[in-house]
Amino acid sequence: MSDTILGVFLIALAIFVLISSSSFPNLVVRGEKLPGPKYFPSLLSILMILLGVFYIVSSIFKLRKREKNQIDKSSKGQLSPLLVVLTSSILFVPVVQLVGTTVGVIAITFSMMVFFRVKWYYSAVISVTLALLIRLVFEVLFKVPLPEGTLIPL
């Protein structure tokens, strides 16, 4: 059941991205049409649609193989991790706007890892390392400023 929900969600998200990216301009250089700003989102959307169809089809085959009287006990807890990841993804932008990129990445990553029963000290080390790595790559290497928070400007 959770595979079907995931498949439908992926297809819906991909359709939304396809519709949104269709308004992006084409890239034309010297009269030649090149992959422009809508190329990558469109490509990812097509891949997400294929993945969504795969999840739905595999879910249907799993349902056919399952016996009518047998209750699948393993699928009860499969929806919870999906909801945690989706909730974290939705909350990421408001958290980053509030506390900044570095603290936001640490908070979201740490909370997700603790939810997935990773030891707290591993979660802390990995979260801080990931936040510092993101900061290093974007601000030092690419020279792209990351958002600062309104509460904690770093």
Rounded to two decimals, the pTM is 0.54
Residue found by looking up tokens 């509460």 in the block: 151
Higher-pLDDT residue of 3, 68:
3
Spatial distance between the Cα atoms of 114 and 122, rounded to a whole number of angstroms = 9
- The mean predicted confidence, pLDDT, of the chain is 84
* pLDDT at res. 69: 45
Q: Would you state the structure tokens that stand for residue 22, as one six-digit string? A: 């269709």
* pLDDT at res. 14: 92
pLDDT in tens, 41-82: 888 999 999 998 998 888 887 766 664 545 445 555 566 888
* pLDDT at res. 82: 81
Is the pLDDT at 15 greater than 90? The verdict is yes
* Cα diameter, the chain: 66
Higher-pLDDT residue of 108, 79:
108
Question: How far is C-alpha 86 from the geometric centre of its chain's CA atoms?
Answer: 7
Is the pLDDT at 107 greater than 90? The verdict is yes
